[in-house]
Amino acid sequence: MKSLDQLVRPNIWSLSPYSCARNEYQGSEATAFLDANENPYNNPYNRYPDPMQRELKDIISNVKDVAPENIFLGNGSDEAIDLTFRIFCIPGKDNVVSIAPSYGMYKVCADINNVEFRAVELEEDFSLNADKLLKAVSTSTKIIFLCSPNNPSGNCLADEEIEKVLHAFDGIVVLDEAYSDFAFNESYRHRLEEYPNIIVLNTMSKAWGCAAIRLGMAFASAEIINLFNKVKYPYNVNLLTQQKAMEIIRRKVDVERWVNNILNERETLMDAFTYLPCCIKVYPTDANFFLAKMTDANRIYNYLVKCGVITRNRTTQPLCRDCIRITIGTPEENNALLAALRKYKDENL
């Protein structure tokens, strides 16, 4: 791996971050807080939240088994994705490499930051070929984006191929594990010492059932986390989100039950899909969704919308011709989908 001072944008490396009032004074002994120009009334919402989310990080540290100094919390994992561009990529000069198809925000953030985005197609079965991916790397490549389980294909990428990328590439590897709570693979967040160039992403939006509160996590070396902390907005995670996140983490048993239900429903729904005349193929998945190749994705997607069932049409994505992505819902939602598809009449059938 290149040293961080070679990888980080020079202006970020030398940046003096904004020092907010709540960073300067961190004790709790004081009787008068006259430092932050807050309103003294309407406690507790009158006060700025902890900019470093210490209490929440301690709890997440226990659940995820990662030290607090290796954790960044953001406004969804989307914030962490954007920050990696702003920390490492010089606009108009550097590039990033990503698998395709994958999560759309990697490219959107690249475009916003004026960074060249090099998409390398996965194999036909959505597996990763590390050698092929690495061929797209140039001396200006700062980041490689991998996603496992991958969105929209649903499959985990093979460890041998991920490790090949981690060993061969001298820049930053972002491994997005947004859906890892539905998979049985070991998370790379436990291997931060082995791979100092990795940033592992996780979120409360999926298994934890908290997409509305916007809380994403990045796990990385303490040096990389310090860079995130330098660049983020001072109070990037609001108090309500911090409180709700702590609440849901205490309901770990409910979360485990939801995940089990979703995995059971996934099996039932995928099995039912194999009997549908309008379904050509169901792709194996390790996530809370699956990809299905249909006879005509556009037509079926529009038909389902009319039936009040919304799926994700992925037909324009690389390797996803005529594919729709289906999120596993409640048994009632899944039955509504199946009932509609059983009634579907395809002209070509």
Which residues bind to ligand PMP, rule: CB under 6 A? 76-78, 103, 147, 151, 176, 178, 203, 205, 211, 216
Nearer to ligand PMP, 75 or 95 (CB): 75
Spatial separation of the C-alpha atoms in residues 316 and 67, rounded to whole Å: 41
Find the shortest distance in angstroms from Cβ 86 to ligand PMP. 16
In sequence order, which residues have a C-beta less than 8 Å from that of residue 45 and are 6 or more positions away? Answer: 239
| Burial 287-300, CB ≥16 within 10 A → b, else e | bbbbbbbbbbbebb
> Token pair for residue 151?
């969105």
Nearer to ligand PMP, 88 or 103 (CB): 103
Q: Is 173 helix (H, G, I), strand (E, B) or coil?
A: strand
Nearer to ligand PMP, 82 or 161 (CB): 82
Nearer to ligand PMP, 211 or 339 (CB): 211
Find the shortest distance in angstroms from Cβ 33 to ligand PMP. 32
What is the chain's alpha carbon radius of gyration, rounded to the nearest angstrom?
22
Find the shortest distance in angstroms from Cβ 275 to ligand PMP. 28
Find the shortest distance in angstroms from Cβ 122 to ligand PMP. 14
Find the shortest distance in angstroms from Cβ 149 to ligand PMP. 8
**Neighbour count for residue 17 (Cβ, 10 Å):** 14
Find the shortest distance in angstroms from Cβ 205 to ligand PMP. 3
Nearest residue to ligand PMP by CB is 76
Q: Are residues 327 and 285 in contact, defined by beta-carbon separation less than 8 angstroms? A: no
Nearer to ligand PMP, 179 or 344 (CB): 179
Residue 186 DSSP one-character state? P
Nearer to ligand PMP, 101 or 171 (CB): 101
User: Measured between alpha carbons, how far is residue 246 from residues 33, 58, 76, 139 in Å?
Assistant: 25, 10, 15, 43
Q: Are residues 214 and 75 in contact, defined by beta-carbon separation less than 8 angstroms? A: yes
